[in-house]
Amino acid sequence: MKNITIVGGGLVGSLLAIFLAKRGHKVNVFERRADPRTTNVYAGRSINLVVSHRGWTALKAAGVNEVVERIVVPVYARMMHDRDGLLTRVPYSIENRAIHSVSRGELNKVLLSEAEKMPNVHLHFHEQCVDVDLDNARCTFKNDITGATASIKADLVFGADGAPSAVRQAMARGRFNFSQEYIEHDYKEVAFPSNADGTPKMDPQCLHIWPRRYYMMMGLANQDGGFTGTLFMPHTASAVIPEAGRSKIAGPGHPESHQGPGPAVYPGFDTVRTEAEVTAFFQTHFADAMSIVPDLVEQYLRNPQSNLAIIRCGPWTHKDKVALIGDAAHAIVPFYGEGMNAGYEDCKVLNDLLNEHGDDNWTTVLDAYGKQRKPNGDAIADLSMRNFVEMRDLVADPRFILRKKIEGRLQAKHPDQWLPLYSQVKFTDTPYVDALREGQRHDRIMEQVLAMPGVEEKWESEEVERKALELLGGSR
């Protein structure tokens, strides 16, 4: 059995510790922050997350699904809020399946407690990894209370230290590919209160979405009747050429913005700063949310603004000594709600590979792990950006809603042939790479189906169904 260091005791590091300890390995988890069970390290960053099928698959495999089930809220549908406050409910699955909302902090606490129950797991808080000697699986930690440094030798090191990963930085000193891409949008979180009697002000079994093309707000239920809202808005204001369509966004000063009848300017976080600007912004774009969250403007002014980046890197492993897992290997944008689920799937796949090859064959196991997971990390990064466009623009588009209805009908009648992309990602263990490929094929098919004359009226007809199935059969 191996002596294993896990750097990072967040969502993925804590689950990985459970998996490895159950196999009999000696596991030491070193976490930079304080113990979230005794200090509110999540204060001001209370975001909740969606656990989906592949997250549950991993939690079950680790034997901790039941403790997590106690702290989740089921979410069955998207609820779109239009500018006039009108609501449209679109179920996630025709079988009424749910994804589950959970508080990030509560989930982390539960998993740390489960890990700590095992005698071969030791948790160390306030320990920041500052360097890694990859060949010798030796990490240097700096204690942020005492300032003391310690050098810890192990047989194997896992970097579960999230997007800014120190383990990855050490790997990047060698032959290592790395890219980091900031997206145009940043985000801020706002708390939606419950009613005075603790009941929710919106349907808690829906993910609430305010799609506004250049902005988007989401609300996800908490167990206490409140919601965590997330506002996504461009980092900087944009000038948009009306004729250029939705995809052409030119920044201020961009030559394109001087063509045509003149660009429309859409504010960004950089231009929505004063109380008057924030109030005007919400009144224009999210008026109904203002009535649900009376202190929306104050929260916006008070709460931190965070950016979003996609990190791709490789290889994820160094010999039989070091491996990256979770966001350290594949930080993605949050629009599919799959970052943590993908990290949990990493843990499950690693565990499966250990079952297959044994616990003394780490060279083979880590090699297979990296080869299998890296393409899937890249695919979920692409899928997540794709879902951003869908949530921001398309959910408010009648063509998109028509497509969802046709796909729902196809799925109901031919479940063995047509499983929509969203269902593949959220309700199956289909590798992300395969789901992405299948989703692209569905796009091509539905483009032709939606081009059928009169499809709006006859979408429930045999003719539309036949056309879709013919195209499906012909495009394999």
Ligand X SMILES: Cc1cc2nc3c(=O)[nH]c(=O)nc-3n(C[C@H](O)[C@H](O)[C@H](O)COP(=O)(O)OP(=O)(O)OC[C@H]3O[C@@H](n4cnc5c(N)ncnc54)[C@H](O)[C@@H]3O)c2cc1C
Residues making contact with ligand X (CB under 6 A): 7-13, 30-33, 47, 49-50, 128-129, 160-162, 164, 166, 187, 230, 326-328, 334, 337-341, 343
Q: Give the nearest distance from C-beta 76 to ligand X in angstroms.
A: 15
Residue 324 has phi, psi (to 5 degrees) of: -95, 150
Q: Give the nearest distance from C-beta 124 to ligand X in angstroms.
A: 9
Q: Give the nearest distance from C-beta 464 to ligand X in angstroms.
A: 34
Closer CB to ligand X, 103 or 238, in the complex: 103
Rounded to 5°, the CA angle 60-61-63 comes to 60
Using a 10 angstrom Cβ sphere, with 0-12 exposed, 13-18 middle and 19 or more buried, the burial of residue 197 is: exposed
Closer CB to ligand X, 376 or 411, in the complex: 376
Closer CB to ligand X, 286 or 335, in the complex: 335
In the sheet that holds 127-133, the strands lie side by side as 127-133, 138-143, 149-153
Closer CB to ligand X, 59 or 249, in the complex: 59
Q: Which residues of 72-84 are buried (b: 16+ CB within 10 A; e: fewer)?
A: bbebbbbbbbeee
Closer CB to ligand X, 11 or 446, in the complex: 11
Q: Give the nearest distance from C-beta 39 to ligand X in angstroms.
A: 12
The secondary structure of the chain in percent helix, strand, coil, rounded to multiples of 5, reads: 40, 25, 35
Q: Give the nearest distance from C-beta 48 to ligand X in angstroms.
A: 7
Using a 10 angstrom Cβ sphere, with 0-12 exposed, 13-18 middle and 19 or more buried, the burial of residue 151 is: exposed
Q: How many CB atoms lie within 10 A of CB 229?
A: 23
Closer CB to ligand X, 30 or 300, in the complex: 30
Which one-letter DSSP state was computed for residue 193? P
Q: Give the nearest distance from C-beta 180 to ligand X in angstroms.
A: 15
Q: Which two tokens stand for residue 138?
A: 């030796």
How far apart, in Å, are the Cα atoms of 429 and each of 55, 105, 109, 134, 426? 9, 26, 26, 32, 8
Closer CB to ligand X, 159 or 263, in the complex: 159
Q: Give the nearest distance from C-beta 426 to ligand X in angstroms.
A: 10
Q: Give the nearest distance from C-beta 348 to ligand X in angstroms.
A: 14
Which residues have C-beta within 8 Å of that of residue 452, sequence separation ≥ 6?
458, 463, 464, 467
Closer CB to ligand X, 433 or 450, in the complex: 433
